[in-house]
Structure 1
Amino acid sequence: MLVYEYKIKANNTKLAAIDGAIRTAQYIRNKCLRFWMDAKPEQKINRFALNKYSTIVANDPEMPFAKSIHSNARQASAERAWTAIGRFYDNCKKKVAGKKGFPRFKRNSRSIEYKVGGWRLSNCRRHITFTDKTKIGTIKLVGSRDIQFVNPKDIKRVRLIKRVDGYYCQFCIKAERLEDCTPTGNSIGIDVGLESFYTDSNGKKVANPRYLRKTEKRLKRLQKLVSRKKKGSNNRRKAINRLGRKHLKISRQRKDFVVKAARVLCTSNDVIVIENLNVRGLVKNHNLAKSISDVSWSLFRQWLEYFGSVFNRQVIAVNPAYTSQDCSNCGKRVKKSLSTRTHSCSCGAKLCRDENAAINILNKGTVGHTVTAPMYGVNASGQMTLWLDSETSRTKVAG
């Protein structure tokens, strides 16, 4: 499934109506979650039960605003609640260590989702009209993606998203993305790190861009300006917007870099072997948490697995234990601290510590392996979304 994204151009009245629709969808989602929490043990609550309950919420005479959004949008909001509940159930069944992700009430939702009803595209495909009672009406779509030749029946979801730099409209289009790519006969091992973004088994190093670290001084200044403004004032709201825009830019820079690096690896190699890192556990080290979050190891793995499926490549995750300590030449274990950046062994092997680890990772992946399961993030509609840039994202249907 493909997702085309457009910037919305509308007046303040229509943008305020979008905000109201988002708050209404949030209200229905939270009501469905409360219904699940208060249900008796003998009640069987599933996705269909929440869909039916969303209709009951809409017909509540004390909350007439709940009926303003289309029934498809109410059902999508109920499905968002069920997605959170289902994730909690799955973590309990898998006996995930630590917190199981018990569903929480939303306080600041930023999107509303419609299914196949409640909206209508114009003939020129540059305007979209929402036909429910939200008073959004017709809004203009600005973007470079051509949706002119897309059959409206293939559009399965429409989302309105609020970001710090404006409002966006996404179209989820039913389509498969498969690209032919000539086999290269190459296999490569990847050792991710903080000094370099990654080092491969051929000795090539890709520099760590450190987008957050480079902008940290500017972020601190913007945060200080927010703190100095009076709470509730327009100046504070503007300062928060400037801070949010800077964070959004860093996020987009990071994703753009990761996408390009992953695509290059998948187009130039048939087998890519990576480390099966527990990033959630690694960030508990408060001395390295900010650097680990900035380098985006999990996002890099997600995009590697995505492009692996697109280009028909094998992406293999192996246990990273002792890959830095073992000698890639003779297999002897050479103890070394994190500060030691060169691997030296009694067999005569002397090379970069990260390159040695990458070779060990490749060797582990080629001796008996299991192809990794996708790590895509599942959204409320049961789709796994990977963002490419501000105008395009790619999705694959989950399940």
Structure 2
Amino acid sequence: MMVLKAVKMRIYPNSEQRDRLMQTFGCARFVWNQMLNMQIERQKNNPEAKFVNAFGMNNLLKRLKEEYPWLKQAESTSLQSANRNLADAFQRFFKGQNKFPHFKSRKYAQSYNSKCVNHNIKVINNHHIKLPKLGVVYFRSGRLPQGKIKNVTVRLTVANQYYITVLTECENQTLAKTGKRVGGDLGLKSLLNLSDGYKEPIHHFEDKYRKKLHHWEKLRSRRYLLAKQAIAWDYHNKVLAPRQLDDFKNYQKARVMVAKYRQKIANQRLDQLQKFTTKLVKQYDIIVLEKLNIKGMLKNHKLARAITNASWSKLVSILQYKCDWYGKKLIQVNPAYTSQICINCGKSNHRLGLDKSEWLDAREWDCPNCGTHLDRDINAAQVILKKGLATQ
């Protein structure tokens, strides 16, 4: 079976390539905004008019290039991809999955997508890749793309770093069966408590950079206020060319430094998740996890930051696609009362008569029915495993 896999790599374009990238970013953003504005105005003028799909917008793209000839300088498939992405955004909106599409701004992260046509995207060696309209670009990556290249997405982050994501189609590589099964209980003390007794720790990567991040965040806020005051003074004096935020280099430096520290923390957290999930799919054939309402749990402002740092949703999503890749199985079960049921006798302890907050503080307990001494998290993982296996 053929599967799609993506490899993210950081690229280091030269000055000429950076100018070409910014031009393509702008063209793709312009096409998105023009087509979105067309859809909105068309609906206003005729409420009965049908939605223009990606094929129809690609036909309008020819007229748009005639009106704005500079669009022809951009990579052609990137403009078609902008239409396809807009059509997909509308389809998600119609299904109630997303909000209404919004106009794009150059103030935030930029991206565009290019299709692989006639081998215009090609990995040359371990550190060089050929990209459409850019030529050969230097990159760094932990691994190289394998299989047939389908497309590439180029991104500029708020930290002024360039990344590409190469999507490839390759043969599915099923891992050898081990015959092992495991249950997992997501937590805030440990990232994942396994039914075999192992507890994956939560590494608080943000603690290492807390002081430096706080320092640059203060500088960014202070310099932002000073820049806004200077801009307001220019408008008050009716300066012909009033300054913009891009003209204040000290503010831009602080903004980029804050983004770099946050990106570094996110990268380290993702690295832990990738390595841990790979270890799980190699060791176990069946993995059972609890299906938490994470969106609802984030409404608890006392735990919201801890839940966000734990990255439960990211862990489950990575584990899901790796199980699909390597022929393993992921089962999610209802987490209700899993920490209150004794794995030995199957009876509920009814929170031992404690209120909710007191019960959350109890990390170990003795079963009032059979007297077994239990670790709260390991017992919950074992109950989750038992529930998951019962659904097969």
TM-score by length of 1: 0.80
Aligned mates of 2:209, 2:297 — CA distance in 1: 23
2:383 aligns with one of 344, 360, 377: 360
> 1:158 — aligned with what?
152
> 1:17 — aligned with what?
20
Q: Find out whether 1:37 has 2:32 as its counterpart.
A: no
Judge conservation of contact 1:30–1:81 (CA < 8 Å) in 2.
Answer: no
Amino acid at match of 1:174: E
Aligned mates of 1:105, 1:277 — CA distance in 2: 33
> 1:210 — aligned with what?
204
Deviates more, 1:116-125 or 1:281-290: 116-125
| CA positional deviation for 1:115 | 1.3
Distance 1:220 1:361, change over 3 A: same
1:184 aligns with one of 145, 170, 178: 178
**RCO higher in 1 or 2 (8 Å CA, sep ≥ 6)?**
1
Distance 1:18 1:277, change over 3 A: same
Alignment gaps of 5+ in structure 2: 228-244, 352-358
Aligned mates of 1:289, 1:76 — CA distance in 2: 36
Aligned mates of 1:284, 1:123 — CA distance in 2: 45
Amino acid at match of 1:238: K
Judge conservation of contact 1:5–1:143 (CA < 8 Å) in 2.
Answer: no
Percent of aligned pairs with the same amino acid:
29
Alignment gaps of 5+ in structure 1: 93-99, 132-136, 370-399
Distance 1:256 1:122, change over 3 A: closer
> 1:26 — aligned with what?
29
> 2:329 — aligned with what?
314
Of structures 1 and 2, the larger Rg is shown by 2
Distance 1:287 1:65, change over 3 A: farther
Aligned mates of 2:282, 2:36 — CA distance in 1: 44
1:348 aligns with one of 350, 357, 371: 371
CA deviation map 1:196-232 (0-9, x unaligned): 1111112221111122345333322220121232433
> 1:388 — aligned with what?
none
Report matched runs for 1:162-241 at 5 Å. 162-163=156-157, 164=159, 166-181=161-176, 183-229=177-223, 230-231=226-227, 232=245, 233-241=248-256
| CA positional deviation for 1:109 | 4.2
Aligned mates of 2:199, 2:144 — CA distance in 1: 38
Report matched runs for 1:361-376 at 5 Å. 361-369=384-392
Q: Find out whether 1:73 has 2:68 as its counterpart.
A: no
Q: Which has the higher helix share?
A: 2
1:264 aligns with one of 279, 282, 290: 279
Judge conservation of contact 2:6–2:165 (CA < 8 Å) in 1.
Answer: yes
Amino acid at match of 1:360: V
SS of residue matched to 1:120 = coil
CA deviation map 1:323-358 (0-9, x unaligned): 112222223222332112123221212211111211
TM-score by length of 2: 0.81
> 2:341 — aligned with what?
326
